[in-house]
Structure 1
Amino acid sequence: MDTKDPVSRRRTRRAVLAATAGNTLEWYDLTTYGFFAVPISKAFFPSGDPTVSLMLAFGTFGVSYLVRPLGALVLGTYADRTGRKAALLLTIRLMLIGTLLIALMPTYASIGIAAPVLILLARLIQGFSAGGEFGSATAFLAEQTPDRRGFMASWQFASQGFATLLAATFGTVLTMNLSGDQLNSWGWRLPFLFGLLIGPVGYLIRRNLPETPEFVEASDTGDVTTTPVRRVLRDQKLPVLLMIGALVMSTAVTYVIVYMPTYAENVLGLPSSAGFIGAVASGVALTTVTPLAGHLSDRFGRVRVMLIAAAAMMLSVYPLFLLLTGSPSLLVMGVVMFLIGLLKACYFGALPALMSEAFPTATRSTGLSLSYNIGVMSFGGFAPVIITWMISTTGNRLSPGFYILATGALSISALLAGRRLLALR
């Protein structure tokens, strides 16, 4: 595709908007649930011990990730068989159902045990949907202009940054303008209701888009398989494992950011608005810098860009959390979270293109979905629970930084192995 042609540029812009609209809804809802875990725990998981209530709320958050690999298998297969567009339309419908359930769910005080059970059901629907969203949307973007795959695919993660920015802005406004009682009783529902406006817009845009050129070409040449899962599990186990490894640091940082409002309030003794403002700072960096990192990966190589960013994160994260815990304030929170968001953006801007290039067109959506969702399930969804438990058990307020360091070591090892074993550039 000639990206200098006006028609091609218009089509490219529409493809980016279509893919990112649905992905923004997915991540907006996810981060909103994590940001408002404290009022959600009080509304649906009441307990005599606030820590237990919070861990139950985060546990429900994490359990939804257990169905992500199932969603990856079902929806990734669907995308590789019938096309990226059909899968993207299905995932956005499912995500809207889950968001609607959470936004309108009666509290535990109104319907008893049915409330947490139905919240769990809503999160499971969203987890299943999210299991197919990443692979379908990333394949859709990466297959638009192969010569600019890094830049195009980076919009998948830039939309995650925008979702974080949007949810954190909502949190900042609400916590600064509502009382604690207002926020706990009804204020936390407003961001979810707003999320219901994003979905229909994304659906309409996606419905009017053509299929990707690479998938059409594969269909015309007969290179579309009816058994993508079998092919991935039989022939592509090594790429799946290495892409899980490459992902884990990025997903760990994502869920540390989601945990920040709770961390600011419960651990650092700051107002919860400080955590939201810190997340806004991260969201700004993630939204603006990620496409630049994707562009640089087209010029200098994915692995090189990611290794430099990973090394910078490993060297910086401990001093940053040491500064934050030693001098907790709104200013320090904002600076620390901006820098963490900046380093994360430099790393994961190149990541979706790297992952898409590890799999052929015929199994790309399935391979992307499996590796992404196994990695997120294992190292992301339960991260807030793990960090809460680490802090509660050890009393060490640096626990989020230690978690990032551990996952960073895994990711650097996977990148080095991938460059050698898969000849990833």
Structure 2
Amino acid sequence: MTSQTLPQGATPSAAPRALTRGDYKTLGLSALGGTLEFYDFVVFVFFANVIGSLFFPATMPDWLRQLQTLGIFAAGYLARPLGGILIAHYGDILGRKKMFTLSIFLMAVPTLVIGLLPTYASIGIAAPLLLLLMRVLQGAAIGGEMPGAWVFVAEHAPARHYGFAIGALTSGITGGIFLGSIIGVWLNSTYSTAEIHDWAWRIPFILGGAFGLVSVYLRRFLHETPVFKELQARKQAGRELPLKTILREHRAACVLVALMTWVLSTAVVVVVLFTPTYLQKVFHIAPTAALRANALATITLTIGCVFWGWLSDRMGTRFAMVLGWLGMSVTSYVFYLSLPGTDASLLWSYALVGFFVGSISLLPVVGVRAFPAAVRFTGLSFAYNMAYAVFGGLTPMLVSVWQQTDIMAPAHYVAAMGILGAALGFWPLASRGWQPRGALHNPI
């Protein structure tokens, strides 16, 4: 996208140009920070069983301990709307870059603290309470990070590479899940169960916090987006409370982004985050095998994010949404119905569904252009985080309860969301985006 003069509130122009070295620098630094920040957020779930045994009483029933651990995980999602709305509010008023840097700092510090927290055996009930507080702070930070990253990169990218740039950024964010998987495989391969339980579980949190602080430093080399500079020049930034404008004029866009977030959160939480524990508990697959397959699926997911973003540039957003999310529905059944299977079938079927889960990159492709530039950060952040707080937080518990009566519950849920995502592709707002009055098309 470029920064030429536009109608009030319009999105940037579509003057064709190639990706420059500056574009790649912006994309690389943004994706690196997103990788580290998302790693910090999701690594918790990869060690949920160990954390549950250390931060809750040993006399507590296993199912209740797991439920309370998942509840602390969900608390991070519930904190996302407040953090996301506040960070986005100032992002629309003060600038994208400042809030983009602040969000990763607010993630790195709590992650480091989690790695240093005393356990229940040392400080009693204070241990889970402090863990809960850190998760709330993490949730608030990531609530601003992901929408901020999407907007920041979208407003820098040339129009003809818009989907590719957002897909590449999203692949960097999902790379954080891959990094967590790799650390999980490494820990389980290097240390005994007793060593992980005693002290090694702290390693991924300490590393994540330290590298997160490094990425705070790296983001100082980024530049403010040309779109926000234009808004400031035309004095369109901060004229009215952004959330007030969103709720009055852009409710349809909020609904669209919320429904797409339901699809995204289901794909990420169920297929990527929930399934490693599901494989171990339901099908008694060894932790190392489950995490190895998860790591491979995350690689194909990361590749898929780039592919589906690129496809939206070439074939249109509607085509990419229908193909990507219907494919996710079909391959989810291929994967879950093949369990436990063999080591080989576990790897290839998990990798296949992971590739189609990569179509989650279509949410920001649609979401960024669903709102005008002056309130874009707030609109995307509000709709995305409010929906994720509900669906992302409740999904693990819903699937956990559902699978007690039907072990195919994850497949049914993911498939249903894939069908919903494909149907949303036929909503004109999804394929064309927000349009100022009199516009014949959306420039991005």
The answer as to 2:36 corresponding to 1:19 is: no
Contact 2:43-2:204 at 8 Å conserved across structures: yes
> Separation in 1 of the partners of 2:345 and 2:203?
28
- Which of 311, 315, 318 in structure 1 is aligned with 2:326? 311
The structural deviation recorded for 1:144 is: 0.5
C-alpha deviations, 1:383-415, integer Å up to 9, x for none?
A: 2222222223x1x22111112123223323333
Return closer, same or farther for 1:420/1:70 CA change in 2, 3 Å cut-off: closer
The structural deviation recorded for 1:45 is: 2.1
C-alpha deviations, 1:135-191, integer Å up to 9, x for none?
A: 211110000024121111123320132111111011111112221111112121111
The answer as to 2:151 corresponding to 1:139 is: yes
Alignment-mate amino acid for residue 125 of structure 1 = L
Of stretches 307-316 and 358-367 in structure 1, the one that deviates more from structure 2 is 307-316
Matched residue, 1:282: 297
Alignment-mate amino acid for residue 13 of structure 1 = Y
Matched residue, 2:419: 409
- Structure 1: runs of 5 or more not aligned: none
> Separation in 2 of the partners of 1:134 and 1:385?
24
> Separation in 1 of the partners of 2:56 and 2:394?
17
The answer as to 2:33 corresponding to 1:33 is: no
Return closer, same or farther for 1:215/1:26 CA change in 2, 3 Å cut-off: same
- Which of 50, 55, 61 in structure 1 is aligned with 2:73? 61
Q: TM-score, normalised by structure 2?
A: 0.89
> Separation in 2 of the partners of 1:250 and 1:242?
12
Q: Secondary structure at the match of 1:211?
A: coil
C-alpha deviations, 1:57-95, integer Å up to 9, x for none?
A: 111000221121111211110110011100011101110
C-alpha deviations, 1:26-75, integer Å up to 9, x for none?
A: 21122211111000100112343112111111110002211211112111
- Would you say how many aligned residue pairs link Structure 1 and Structure 2? 418
Contact 2:368-2:380 at 8 Å conserved across structures: yes
Q: TM-score, normalised by structure 1?
A: 0.93
Q: Secondary structure at the match of 2:285?
A: coil
User: What is the correspondence of 1:384-395 to structure 2 with a 5 Å cutoff?
Assistant: 384-392=396-404, 394=405
Q: Percent identity?
A: 31
The structural deviation recorded for 1:305 is: 0.4
Contact 1:306-1:348 at 8 Å conserved across structures: no
Matched residue, 1:108: 120
Contact 1:294-1:349 at 8 Å conserved across structures: yes
- Which of 339, 362, 368 in structure 2 is aligned with 1:324? 339
Contact 1:239-1:422 at 8 Å conserved across structures: no
Return closer, same or farther for 1:88/1:339 CA change in 2, 3 Å cut-off: same
Matched residue, 1:254: 268
C-alpha deviations, 1:107-146, integer Å up to 9, x for none?
A: 0000000000000000000111111111211110000024
- Which of 195, 200, 210 in structure 2 is aligned with 1:197? 210
Contact 2:339-2:346 at 8 Å conserved across structures: yes
Greater percentage in helix: 1
Of stretches 289-298 and 272-281 in structure 1, the one that deviates more from structure 2 is 289-298
> Separation in 2 of the partners of 1:383 and 1:350?
21
C-alpha deviations, 1:208-242, integer Å up to 9, x for none?
A: 22101111112111221341111111111110111
Alignment-mate amino acid for residue 129 of structure 1 = A
Matched residue, 2:223: 210
> Separation in 1 of the partners of 2:158 and 2:94?
21
Alignment-mate amino acid for residue 114 of structure 1 = A
Matched residue, 2:192: 179
Q: Secondary structure at the match of 1:270?
A: coil
- Structure 2: runs of 5 or more not aligned: 3-14, 435-441
Return closer, same or farther for 1:240/1:146 CA change in 2, 3 Å cut-off: farther
Alignment-mate amino acid for residue 184 of structure 1 = H
Of stretches 256-265 and 76-85 in structure 1, the one that deviates more from structure 2 is 256-265
User: What is the correspondence of 1:234-245 to structure 2 with a 5 Å cutoff?
Assistant: 234-245=248-259
Contact 2:40-2:108 at 8 Å conserved across structures: no
Q: CA RMSD in A?
A: 2.0
Contact 1:247-1:411 at 8 Å conserved across structures: no
The structural deviation recorded for 1:334 is: 1.5
